[in-house]
């Protein structure tokens, strides 16, 4: 076999796709240099034929060296079957399999290899290994169970019994329709907040939504960002996806604040700065963060020394929270303290002895900084309890789903997650996507991927923990770039999207885990399936009750926008998103002007082509509205140069989607308030201040907004479940 053939074999075993088609149908072949770079990121040496052969043996023989695989997935009320790989000399003797249910109940199964057919044979480490299919007679409920062979009890198999489908609220499962609001939490305004939207603003938004008849509140990812680096504001490039951003805490809503004179005095001393932050059009992270943390430190000190029955109950709740989140919480808090110690530098630049959580110097540091570590645990406790209160408020006000959270596709390589779990988070690659309508040059998101093989070897514990953390206090979860369950576009470090290739993930097993956690948390799932979507992917997601994410701007077929009745029922429909122009900006071409100023077009022809396409899209949208008899009076699709965006036209766009069978219509609060500037421009980081713009109106003014008034009839139909 030639070196090229060996490389191809290794590439296939590693799950690297050797070709792909972009969204416009252009074919891309992955070259040998790209293959080697991505193999190296996976920890597989491929510089020469000897290394390639060793890597092939490592991958191909790995499953044969274990008696049982690390993970087996079965489905509820369906037969369970295991794969057993036995040395030939052991195959003459019966094998006892011990099954332990999640509840701790044990049972045994006896398998006689000598009486069973051999499915496959292979030479491994100089001896023959035989493979058998082993059916289990035990019936197990949905959950996480374990299986081991008594002779090899040290090898545990995680047996996951999962439902076939994710959870849906009964009314949506029966074909009903509803609607909700989407918002970036940090952008919310309230006279009493500290210049950044907080969990009290969220409760206020819940009340406003309930008054309007909504049942869903869609939010940006609430993940923990970098407190030591406040200018890094993207919720889609967080420090940790397991914990919350403490800046969303409403300091004045903490029980101890009312009795803490030091905290109150410090807040009053900064009132001028807080007033300026409240009045600003952008979130002033660099000014807000130190004030908020300083006051929170005073609140924590009062909590730590407070006495009495109420204080004891609060401490007990805090200790319960710490125990519930265990080592993951301790590591996150310790990471924050280390970030302070080393001036916000990336952990890869910390001194030797601090770059791994298991280092002895880290343990000593944790001991000598225990109070500060507990402070950051305290912040997570407060954020968690305030988010829980907002969701309880939503359910109490009759919102069937309530808060719908967002899970970013990854976390920053210099963040808490990457430091805490270095085996599964790949440091030598980054995630992005090929060229698409978001960015014609392709996208490099800069975030590291999870290692698919290591994650499976770890029985998906990092993936399960992430789902649980983000389904907590939520009735819905949006998974950003949900195609990542099937494959992710890896780019070698130092490379560009042109150097990337897709790497496969254990899709069926991850989807089964998603369905199990969804059912357990009673949390519906929306998959953001925009961009380059693999053939057949949406059908598989629909079969699992995962809602497709349909954006009006992209829902075109040929030279027309799809009619409302052409949208799928199992979908969330919206006009636009945080990564696209607001309706006002779309209509004016503000996003095109911005990309032109930032030189994001590969050529002048590309820019002029998008301007012409936008003008045509405006015409097509007006034609679509006319076809549904939703065109506002006085508008002429054939004379649109001077046609302004108006409350009536914004309402008509949403009324168009409201007529679709899509389960959920999500209305962006930015469009209800007629914002022009989009929150984020994909492909930019330092070129413009993404993730900072605040809303121009306070939340309590929403009900009187002209767009809301114009849209009420269409929303009322959805509220009635029609």
Give the domain ranges of the chain: 3-63, 77-162, 170-719
Tokens coding 490: 């890896």
CB atoms within 10 A of CB 702: 22
Q: What whole-number distance in Å separates Cα of residue 274 and Cα of residue 27?
A: 53
- pLDDT tens-digit readout, 433-451: 887 666 667 788 899 999 9
d(CA 495, CA 31): 14
pLDDT at residue 503 tops 60: yes
DSSP-assigned states of every residue in 410-439: ---TTSHHHHHTTTTB-SSEEEEE-SBTTB
Distances (CA, A) of 85 to 69, 120, 126: 9, 9, 15
The arithmetic mean of pLDDT across residues 361-365, rounded, is 98
Distance CA 357, CA 374 (A): 17
Residue 564 pLDDT greater than 60, yes or no: yes
**Into which CATH architecture does domain 170-719 fall?**
Alpha-Beta Barrel (3.20)
Question: Model confidence at 3, in pLDDT bands (50, 70, 90)?
Answer: low
Q: Is residue 425 pLDDT above 90, yes or no?
A: yes
Q: pLDDT tens digits for 658-703?
A: 999 999 999 999 999 999 999 999 878 888 999 999 999 999 999 9
77-162 is classed in which CATH architecture?
A: Sandwich (2.60)
Nearest residue to 701 via CA among 182, 190, 186, 179: 190
Which is nearest to 435 in space by CA: 683, 105, 177, 656?
A: 683
- Residue 448: both structure tokens together: 């590291």
Give percent of the chain with pLDDT exceeding 90.
87
Output DSSP code: residue 450: B
Q: 211, 217 in Cβ contact below 8 A? A: no
CB 162 within 8 A of CB 460: no
CA 59, chain centre distance (Å): 29
In whole angstroms, what separates CA 277 from the centre of its chain? 29
Task: Check whether 96 has a pLDDT greater than 80.
Answer: yes
pLDDT in tens, 31-65: 999 999 999 999 999 998 999 999 999 998 888 99
CA dihedral 103, 456, 510, 531 (to 10 degrees): 160
Burial of 126 (0-12, 13-18, 19+ CB in 10 A): exposed
* Strand pairing class (80-87; 127-136): antiparallel
Distance CA(274)–CA(199), nearest Å, equals 17
Closest to 383 measured CA to CA, from 581, 185, 564: 185
């Amino acid at each position: 076999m030639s070196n090229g053939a060996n490389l191809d074999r290794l590439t296939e075993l590693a799950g690297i796709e050797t070709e792909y088609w972009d969204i416009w149908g252009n074919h891309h072949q992955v070259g040998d240099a790209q293959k080697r770079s991505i193999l190296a990121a996976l920890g597989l040496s491929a510089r020469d034929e000897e290394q390639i052969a060793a890597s092939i043996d490592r991958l191909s023989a790995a499953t044969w060296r274990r008696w049982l695989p690390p993970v087996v997935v079965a489905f509820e009320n369906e037969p369970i079957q295991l794969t057993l790989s036995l040395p030939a000399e052991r195959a003459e003797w019966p094998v006892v399999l011990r099954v332990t249910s999640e509840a701790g109940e044990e049972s045994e199964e006896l398998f006689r290899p000598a009486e069973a057919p051999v499915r496959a044979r292979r030479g491994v480490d100089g001896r023959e290994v035989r493979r058998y299919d082993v059916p289990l007679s035990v019936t197990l409920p949905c959950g996480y169970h374990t299986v081991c062979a008594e002779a090899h009890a040290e090898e545990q198999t995680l047996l996951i019994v999962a439902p076939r489908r994710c959870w849906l609220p009964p009314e949506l499962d029966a074909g009903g329709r509803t609607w909700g609001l989407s918002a970036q939490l940090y952008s919310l305004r309230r006279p009493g907040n500290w210049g950044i939207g907080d969990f009290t603003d969220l409760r206020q938004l819940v009340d406003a939504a309930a008054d309007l008849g909504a049942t869903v509140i869609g939010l940006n990812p609430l993940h923990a960002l970098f407190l030591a680096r406040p200018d890094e504001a993207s919720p889609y490039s967080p420090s940790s996806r397991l914990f919350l951003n403490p800046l969303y805490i409403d300091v004045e809503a903490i029980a101890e604040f009312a009795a803490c004179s030091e905290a109150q005095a410090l807040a009053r001393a900064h009132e001028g700065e807080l007033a300026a932050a409240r009045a600003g059009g952008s979130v002033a992270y660099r000014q807000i963060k130190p004030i908020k943390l300083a006051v929170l430190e005073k609140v924590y000190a009062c909590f730590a020394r407070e006495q009495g029955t109420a204080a004891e109950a609060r401490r007990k709740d805090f200790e319960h929270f710490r125990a519930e989140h265990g080592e993951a919480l301790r590591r996150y808090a310790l990471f924050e303290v280390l970030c302070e110690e080393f001036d916000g530098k990336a952990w890869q630049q910390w001194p030797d002895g601090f770059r791994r959580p298991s280092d002895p110097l880290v343990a000593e540091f944790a001991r000598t900084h225990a109070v500060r570590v507990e402070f950051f645990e305290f912040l997570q406790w407060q954020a968690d309890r305030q988010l829980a209160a907002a969701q309880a408020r939503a359910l109490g006000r009759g919102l069937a789903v309530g808060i719908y959270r967002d899970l970013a596709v990854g976390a920053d390589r210099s963040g808490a997650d990457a430091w805490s779990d270095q085996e599964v988070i790949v440091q030598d690659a980054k995630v992005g996507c090929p060229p698409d309508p978001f960015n014609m040059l392709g996208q490099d998101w800069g975030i590291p991927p999870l290692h698919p093989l290591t994650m499976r070897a770890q029985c998906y514990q990092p993936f399960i923990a992430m789902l649980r953390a983000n389904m907590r206090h939520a009735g819905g979860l949006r998974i950003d770039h949900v195609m990542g369950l099937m494959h992710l576009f890896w780019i070698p470090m130092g490379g560009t999207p042109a150097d990337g290739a897709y790497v496969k993930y254990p899709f069926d097993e991850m989807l089964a885990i998603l369905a199990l956690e969804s059912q357990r948390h009673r949390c519906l799932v929306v998959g953001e399936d925009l961009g380059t979507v693999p053939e057949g992917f949406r059908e598989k997601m629909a079969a699992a009750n995962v809602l497709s994410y349909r954006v009006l701007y992209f829902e075109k077929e040929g030279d027309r926008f799809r009619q409302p009745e052409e949208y799928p029922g199992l979908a969330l429909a919206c006009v636009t998103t945080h990564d696209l122009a607001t309706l006002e900006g779309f209509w004016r071409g503000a996003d095109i002007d911005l990309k032109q100023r930032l030189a994001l077009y590969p050529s002048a022809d590309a820019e002029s082509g998008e301007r012409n396409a936008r003008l045509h899209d405006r015409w097509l949208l007006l034609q679509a509205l006319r076809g549904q008899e939703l065109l506002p009076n006085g508008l002429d699709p054939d004379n649109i140069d001077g046609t302004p965006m108006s409350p009536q036209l914004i309402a008509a766009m949403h009324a168009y989607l409201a007529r679709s069978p899509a389960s959920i219509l999500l209305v962006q609060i930015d469009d209800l308030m007629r914002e022009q500037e989009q929150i984020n421009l994909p492909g930019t980081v330092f070129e413009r201040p993404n993730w900072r713009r605040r809303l121009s109106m306070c939340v309590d003014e929403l009900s009187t907004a002209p767009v809301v008034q114009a849209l009420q009839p269409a929303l009322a139909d959805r509220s009635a479940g029609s």
